[in-house]
Amino acid sequence: MNRIRRALLAALVICIARPRAALAAWNKDAFGAKTAGDALKSLGIGNAAPSKEVTIDAPEIAENGAVVPIEITSNVPGTTALIVVIDNNPFPLIARFDFKENALPFVKVNVKMGETSDVRVIAEAGGKHYVATREVKVTIGGCGG
Amino acid sequence: MKPIALLAALALTGAAQAQDTAKEIQRYRQMIAEGSPVELFEFAGEELWKRPQGPSNVSLEKCDLGRGPGVLKGAYARLPRYFKDADRVMDLETRLLHCMTTLQGRSEKDAAARVFGTADRPAEMESLSAYIAAQSRGMKLDPGVSHPKEKQSIELGRALYFQRAGAWDFSCASCHGEEGKRIRMQDLPVLYKPQFARPVIASWPAYRLSTSGFITLQWRMNDCYRQMRTPEPNFGSDTTVALIHFMTVTARGETYRGPGNKR
Amino acid sequence: MTRPLILAALFAAPALAEPTPADVQKQMQRDFHPRGQATMERLAQDGVQRVCTETRDRPPAQVAKALEADQMKTIAFPEGSLMGDWKRGEAIAQSGRGMTWNDKPGDAAGGSCYNCHQLSPKELSYGTIGPSLQGFGKTRGTSAEVQRYVFGKIYNAKAYNLCSQMPRLGASGTLTPEQIKDLVGLLLDPASPVNQ
Amino acid sequence: MAGPMKMRATLGQGFTEVRVLMTHPMETGQRKDSDGKLVPMHFIQNLTVKLNGKTVVDAQISQAVSRNPVFSFRLKGGAKGDKIEVAWLDNQGDSNSTESAVA
């Protein structure tokens, strides 16, 4: 009886919690932060150690800041999340990817850059943080096509 | 924006670094090509190709792009060419317009009402171009060159390329006439010379990064004439087709690798 | 069996003849429509455009001389100093607006100068169709003749080099004489960034 | 009113590569339209990748991801026919998802 009740209750909780959890999962404070430091603080990231195990593949020069391709990977064992920060963007936090056991800590995506800036990628593994930094220069062009 | 600081830094460095810059920009373009949303347009185009429309309520699937009704594989690489049923040379967009009017029973006015779209609302013609052009990837550009009307069209295209007109006396060659020139930072290919026409023509139509829209060769002709300060060319006119035809013939033999990506 | 071949040959012969500028103009009249301020008259070639098209920008010296002299007559040189405000000149040089079918006729146009020329060292996004004009006034000074030359060249480049790729910015009604004076200032004023 | 999505999942060397394209304006709220009015913020915030029904990637993203986002992810192992599902949710409550089998 008790077990059934508990199971029902659990199901109910899941039903209610699920859509809300999906919405709440977007970290408003972190994404609304105006500096990289504040954004990382909101994500609970303090000191991140520079690491060669975190890699950022990005062009050194992007002709168009509206589309800057980046490819990020972590070879730190047990990486569970990758966080992307672009220091000079008005809202520096770009993305947080959480990986479950069947996913490799790898993402390729196009991002917007307002100006030349450092791109930082932080890997989370076993409660510790590791960081890689890479500068991408943004230029403009002529009249196009 | 700090492009100025960047460019200053670039200007101060030597030739070796200028070469690195070119290499890096090349790498940027390569990465862009790998992660381009161009497939979204191909996908939307496929739906449009198969969607019944117009008074006849039929799809474009029976449209003959030169290789027989409904044959898409390699069709784009063989355009522009002469079509007997229309008795004229047509490029892809002109031919699509023809199919919209003949097969779907739409008026030309309706079918050509909105041929250039925006990022928010791509034009039918743009998505269809993406879908159809993609099915010529890996094939050699082989536009029609033997029919008298094809020869006529190529010659007209060549003459148009050098025709000075408009409020600013420009011809196509005013900007695209000499090697190694650029407008602002944009390189200007000399499109009557094969070595320059080949890579350019082989990547049109294309996704345009700066506007997030899809652009076609008819759009390119239109917007060049706008900047040349002439009146507006009619969509699918002999003039626009002849220019596209001339440049495609100049690029003949190149392997088609579009739809591409433009800045 | 030979008949189609002969027919094809008959067709092919006239088709191969290269269309003349007049033929092309006729074709364009059929294939364009007016839009905004861009009227159909713009397709009609004047003598300069026709000669430059026919000769692929290499007109015989005699013809060039005569037509250049005609073009010189179109230039309305204002009285007094021709050197305007370089700051306004810089803005005009930067702007690429004006004369297209989607520019409003009354709005101020620009000279599109940076599209083709290097001018101020601060602007690194410049074109290379025309020569670099960086430091232009440094060696030439600001004498009345130099001012007159620069004003005239911008007003009607074809008066100095018949088949130049540069638009006739004054003669075409793109820029006002006041705007051209500001561009003269940009090129010649010792305080202009062009001469730093 | 979500536009088309497209996904391809292919077996790579020791992993499955998932490439997904989405039609989305990713408006930053700072861009002005042709009338000079600010276009309201409109961007994808959450993205999930599921492998055979189980979430494997859970992403939160900002308006600084480029218009018409294209993502690539890599999943461990994987076999032909495995079901991949990608879904997104934006700040205006719009959502979309797509499904495909590993090829």
CA distances from C94 to B209, B216, C87, C118, C127 (A): 23, 28, 11, 11, 11
Tell me how far apart the alpha carbons of residues C161 and C157 are, in angstroms, rounded to a whole number: 6
Which residues 48-67 of D are in CB contact (within 8 Å) with B?
66-67
The pLDDT tens digits along chain C (196 residues) read 444 444 444 444 444 578 999 999 999 999 999 999 999 999 999 999 999 999 999 999 999 999 999 999 999 999 999 999 999 999 999 999 999 999 998 888 999 999 999 999 998 889 999 999 999 999 999 999 999 999 999 999 999 999 999 999 999 999 999 999 999 999 999 999 999 9
Q: What is the residue extent of each domain of chain C? A: 86-195
Domains and CATH numbers, chain A: 28-138 (2.60.40.2470)
Residue pairs between chains A and B whose CB atoms are closer than 8 Å: 84
Min Cα distance B221 → chain C (Å) is 12
Count other C-beta atoms under 10 Å from residue C148's C-beta: 14
**Which residues of B are less than 8 Å from A67 in CB distance?**
32, 209
The CATH code that applies to domain B36-262 is 1.10.760.10
Give percent above pLDDT 70 in chain C.
92
Across the interface, whether the CB atoms of B40 and D69 are under 8 A apart is answered no
Report which of D50, D21, D39 is spatially closest to residue D92, judged by C-alpha positions.
D39
**Euclidean distance between the first and the last CA atom of chain D, given in angstroms as a whole number:** 29
Tell me how far apart the alpha carbons of residues C101 and B227 are, in angstroms, rounded to a whole number: 9
Q: Is A127 left (phi over 0), alpha (psi -120 to 50) or beta?
A: left
Tell me how far apart the alpha carbons of residues B189 and B181 are, in angstroms, rounded to a whole number: 8
Across the interface, whether the CB atoms of C125 and A143 are under 8 A apart is answered no
Q: Which position has the token pair 């820029």?
A: C175
Which residues 133-172 of C are in CB contact (within 8 Å) with B?
158, 165, 167-168, 172
Number of structural domains chain D divides into:
1
**DSSP element (H, E) containing C93:** helix C86-94
Q: Which position has the token pair 């199971």?
A: A7
Q: Does ipTM surpass 0.90 in this model? A: no
Strands A79-86 and A68-74: unpaired
pLDDT band at B27 (very low <50, low <70, confident <90, very high): confident
C30: phi then psi, degrees, rounded to nearest 5? -75, -35
**DSSP element (H, E) containing D47:** strand D44-51
Across the interface, whether the CB atoms of D67 and B47 are under 8 A apart is answered no
Among 3.40.190.170, 3.40.50.720, 3.50.50.60, 1.10.760.10, name the CATH number for the domain at C86-195.
1.10.760.10
User: Does B263 lie at the interface with A, CB-CB under 8 angstroms?
Assistant: yes
pTM of the entire structure? 0.85
Residue A15: what pLDDT? 40
Tokens of B165: 């007109």
Contacts of residues A15-24 at CB distance under 8 Å and 24 or more positions apart, as own/partner, are: A22/D46, A22/D89, A23/D46, A23/D89
B172 is known as an active-site residue: no
Residue D2: what pLDDT? 62
Q: Does the structure show a pLDDT above 90 at B4?
A: no
Q: Where are the alpha helices (DSSP H) in chain A?
A: 2-24, 28-32, 36-42
Task: Kindly report the CATH number assigned to the domain that includes residue D67.
Answer: 2.60.40.10
The domain of D35 spans: 5-101
pLDDT band at A6 (very low <50, low <70, confident <90, very high): low
Tell me how far apart the alpha carbons of residues A117 and B1 are, in angstroms, rounded to a whole number: 10
**Which residues of D are less than 8 Å from B120 in CB distance?**
25
Q: What is the residue extent of each domain of chain B? A: 36-262
Q: Are A84 and A31 in contact (CB under 8 A)?
A: no
Task: Answer with the residue of higher pLDDT: B45 or A7.
Answer: B45
Q: Which amino acid appears at position D103 of this protein?
A: A
Q: Does the structure show a pLDDT above 90 at B13?
A: no
**Which residues of B are less than 8 Å from A116 in CB distance?**
2-3, 5-6
